[in-house]
Amino acid sequence: MPFSQLGLNPKINKALEKNAYKNPTLIQEKVIPLVLQNNDIMAKAQTGSGKTASFVLPILQLFLDKEEKKEYKSKAKISTLVLTPTRELALQVSKAFIDFSEYFVNKPKIVSIIGGESLTQQLLDIQKGCDIVVATTGRLLDILDKKQMNLSNLEFFVLDEADKMLDLGFEEELDKILQIIPNNRQNLLFSATFEKKVENIASKITQKAIFLSIEEKSIVQNITQRA
């Protein structure tokens, strides 16, 4: 099935083409339509399955739908928060948002909130107005503790690689963040495993998610094998 059958905006399809994404992976084929229909999702999927685009693309599509209806551009408000276990993954996710929104007239403002980089710059970027925050938990809490970020307009909450986040001991930080963000939001959770501790955090995030288990081989492995 080609991407064109998923009903994404031509501006997104153009970026997919530029990035040599021809056909969706299994997780993309399943998750994208469900996110577009505003469902909460819990997906058991490995790194390399294409999980990043499975949440980035529909979030961008819903952003675009809203932007096209607006008559004037107000200052951006944070509508999406993605939490990742590592800085590297946060940067990768931010890059996917940037790459796939390349052809938007009003591009979403994306800020990576990660440790090891200038806090002052990140605070400035937030104050200027941003739509999408991709963060690791520690730095995000530093900023939230300083009351420097308003998450009251949040619409999407994405927890990427939840199992890894819990293995790294971020449960308490996650709990704190969950107490701060508004309850009325769409939740997307991705994890390579769904053992007890993941189920535990998942139940705190949402009670109404559609659960998907994608056992497809990693697209990265496939590419390596062919090479």
**Which positions lie near ligand AMP, rule CB under 6 A?**
21, 24-25, 28, 47-53, 219-220
What separation in angstroms does the CA of 102 have from each of 60, 108, 112, 180, 191? 11, 10, 17, 31, 28
Q: Which is nearer to ligand AMP, 21 or 170 (CB)?
A: 21
Q: Which is nearer to ligand AMP, 181 or 212 (CB)?
A: 212
Find the shortest distance in angstroms from Cβ 218 to ligand AMP.
7
Find the shortest distance in angstroms from Cβ 164 to ligand AMP.
13
CB 47 within 8 A of CB 214: no
Q: Which is nearer to ligand AMP, 21 or 63 (CB)?
A: 21
Find the shortest distance in angstroms from Cβ 174 to ligand AMP.
21
Q: Which is nearer to ligand AMP, 24 or 108 (CB)?
A: 24
Find the shortest distance in angstroms from Cβ 100 to ligand AMP.
10
Q: Which is nearer to ligand AMP, 47 or 106 (CB)?
A: 47
Nearest partner of 136 among 151, 158, 115, judged by Cα = 115
Find the shortest distance in angstroms from Cβ 99 to ligand AMP.
9
CB 190 within 8 A of CB 159: yes
Q: Which is nearer to ligand AMP, 110 or 141 (CB)?
A: 110
Find the shortest distance in angstroms from Cβ 44 to ligand AMP.
13
